[in-house]
Amino acid sequence: MANMIDRSAIAETIRHTHPIILLGTLYATFTSLVADPPTLLLQLLPVTIGVQVIHASTCLGSSKAAVASGSKKKTKSASKGRSEDVGANVLTAFLSLFLALAVGVPSIFVVIVLLGAPITADLSHTALCAAHLSVLAGLPLVYSHHVQGSKWRDIVSLNLPMDEVYGGALGACLGAWFGAIPIPLDWDRDWQRWPVTIIVGIYAGYAVGRLGGLALVGKVARFN
């Protein structure tokens, strides 16, 4: 029992420091990001992956547990599942990572290009941008909801009730979209380079979105 309290204490710590670590790393490497976006994004990717895998395997529950419980009780029942086997959680997290990258990168890449990313230049920039978005938004979603078709349809169509994971993912996507705003300004700053502002938007949106997700737990957006 003592062990379990310890664990949930660790989980709580990770849960709270996780966005700070992500944003802090981005802040610390911002100069290099501006100087050479693809190189830094490639170097940053393993860090983000590591942070996300740790976060997912310690703090997130899988959907089996989540389905059984209501939205508020989720963390509790999830922690029960977690205490059973940390090793299995890490394995699940890596599987989620694999799926998020394999499916997420190409599909997000296509979406970013559809929304206006350059198609004749900077392809590696865009691909890495998609990779970061997949790891931040996609990995926790895959971890929590697996690959259930109907679930993913709900995720894409915003039919899923809001929670922390979903809020983070939506926040990252919205952040990416809003990140495009400063690009056309004629300030001629290096940070206006593609896709620096998008990356910042993704990371900031992810952090804000998780808080927003907590605040709006259970809500669903209606478009019809």
What are phi and psi for residue 148, nearest 5 degrees?
Answer: -65, 125
Nearer to another protein, 77 or 192 (CB): 192
Measured from the CB of residue 185, what is the shortest distance to another protein in angstroms?
5
Pick from 5, 84, 87, 184 the residue near another protein by CB under 8 A: 184
Can you tell me the distance from the alpha carbon of 164 to that of 72, in angstroms, rounded to the nearest whole number? 11
Site for another protein contains 222 (CB under 8 A): yes
Whichever of 1 and 187 has its CB closer to another protein, that residue is 187
Number of residues that bind another protein (CB under 8 A): 23
Of 126, 207, 143, nearest in space to 170 by CA:
207
Per CB under 8 A, 190 contacts another protein: no
Rounded Cα distance between 204 and 209, Å, is 8
With b for 16 or more beta-carbon neighbours within 10 A and e for fewer, the 103-123 pattern comes to ebbeebbeebeeeebeeeebe
Which lies closer to another protein via its Cβ, residue 3 or residue 150?
150
In whole angstroms, how close is the CB of 123 to another protein at the nearest point? Answer: 15
Contact 209, 171 (CB under 8 A): yes
Q: Which positions from 73 through 102 interact with another protein, judged by CB under 8 A?
A: none
Residue 45 binds to another protein (criterion: CB under 8 A): no
Q: Which residue has the tokens 């605040």?
A: 215
The 97-116 site mask, x for binding another protein (CB under 8 A), equals: ----------------xxxx
Binding mask 144-183 for another protein (x = CB under 8 A): ---------x--xxxx-----------------x--xx-x
**Cα–Cα distance measured from residue 38 to residue 126, given in angstroms and rounded to the nearest whole number:** 9
- Give the chain's length: 224
How far apart are CB 121 and another protein at their closest, in Å? Answer: 10
Query: The tokens of 169 are what?
Result: 């993912």
Min dist CB 182 to another protein, Å, is 10
Its sign, for the CA torsion 111, 117, 122, 125, is negative
Q: Using CB under 8 A, list all residues that contact another protein.
A: 113-116, 119-120, 153, 156-159, 177, 180-181, 183-187, 221-224
